[in-house]
């Protein structure tokens, strides 16, 4: 038997995570495909073998494999077995940039859906203690799509005085950083970004069409103008299965 199909020496330790056991298993199995432990085109271990290796019920293994099947990473054939048909890297097409130039890049094939728009608001999550808060902000909730897949959900807060300088249609087609960069006469003095790894709650899972408790990247950005005004705050969530962090080391 191929060594990749041999049971592990010790059962998988699920610890005390609040994430469902089958979701943890799906993440483990997906990692095996990513790293080549389960190569493309190869038959993976049976449900019985995986249940014995991980010390879980066969139903839990089936649920985990169902997650991978829904992602079109594996295909199950009756009387033949389960085979790897795609690597997850094929779907890693959204880079979360960490430098200003990268944040201004257009996402090829991206479309933006505006879910909500309201005036007279204040940012709900001021993570960075920078800049002077404006009297009122225009709030947008937007969902980004690519290739028929929703990959980003963002709450954007633009200083209302800034919004008056922009054509309304720009909010339907450009990223927040590209929008703020195109404000006439606006000079940016400071920008901050914080990324945190988390899991999808019920609302995020529904809006981004992903499993509950699946990994997500939470990204908070703030932009301050040359007068010290906090002109933009964004609070967004990226799907973990289609995103990678792009860091330029100095």
Residue 64 pLDDT: 93
Q: What single-letter DSSP state applies at residue 122?
A: -
Share of the chain above pLDDT 90, in %: 53
**Residues for the chain: how many in total?**
250
> What are the DSSP E strand ranges found in 78-228?
81-84, 94-97, 110-121, 132-133, 137-146, 149-159, 188-199, 215-225
Q: Mean per-residue pLDDT for 79-98?
A: 73
Fold adopted by 92-246:
Chorismate lyase (3.40.1410)
pLDDT tens digits for range 92-130? 555 555 555 555 455 667 899 999 999 999 998 898 889
pLDDT tens digits for range 241-250? 777 766 666 5
Q: Mean per-residue pLDDT for 24-32?
A: 88
Residue 43, Cβ neighbours under 10 Å: how many? 16
Residue 240 pLDDT: 84
Given a cut of 70, is residue 91 above it in pLDDT?
A: no
Q: Tell me the average pLDDT of the chain.
A: 85
Classify burial at 46, counting beta carbons within 10 Å of its beta carbon; exposed 0-12, middle 13-18, buried 19 or more. middle
Maximum CA pair distance of the chain? 69
Residue 19 pLDDT: 66
pLDDT higher at 153 or 193:
153
Q: What single-letter DSSP state applies at residue 249?
A: -
**pLDDT winner (highest mean) among 33-37, 49-53, 103-107:** 49-53
Q: Tokens for 108?
A: 């090829």
Fold adopted by 3-89:
Arc Repressor Mutant, subunit A (1.10.10)
Q: Tokens for 17?
A: 């995570």
Domain ranges of the chain: 3-89, 92-246
- 1 contacts: CB under 8 Å, gap ≥ 6: none
């Amino acid at each position: 038997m191929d060594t990749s199909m041999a049971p592990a020496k010790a059962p998988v330790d699920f610890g005390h995570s609040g994430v469902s056991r089958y979701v943890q298993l799906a993440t483990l199995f997906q990692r095996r495909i990513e790293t080549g432990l389960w190569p493309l085109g190869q038959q993976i271990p049976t449900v019985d073998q995986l249940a014995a290796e991980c010390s879980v019920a066969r139903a839990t293994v089936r649920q985990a494999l169902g997650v991978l099947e829904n992602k079109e990473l594996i295909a199950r054939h009756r009387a033949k077995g389960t085979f790897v048909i795609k690597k997850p890297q094929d779907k890693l097409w959204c880079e979360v940039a960490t430098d200003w130039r990268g944040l201004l890049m257009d996402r090829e094939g991206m479309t933006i859906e505006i879910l909500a728009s309201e005036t007279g608001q204040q940012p709900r999550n001021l993570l960075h203690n920078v800049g002077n808060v404006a009297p009122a902000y225009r709030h947008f909730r937007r969902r980004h799509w690519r290739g028929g897949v929703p990959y980003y959900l963002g709450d954007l807060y633009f200083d209302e005085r800034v919004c008056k300088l922009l054509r309304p249609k720009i909010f339907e087609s450009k990223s927040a950083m590209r929008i703020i960069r195109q404000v006439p006469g606006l000079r940016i003095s400071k920008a901050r970004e914080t990324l945190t790894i988390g899991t999808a709650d019920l609302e995020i899972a529904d809006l981004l069409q992903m499993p509950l408790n699946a990994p997500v990247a939470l990204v908070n950005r703030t932009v301050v103008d040359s007068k010290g005004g906090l002109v933009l705050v964004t609070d967004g969530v990226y799907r973990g299965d289609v995103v990678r962090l792009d860091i330029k080391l100095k």
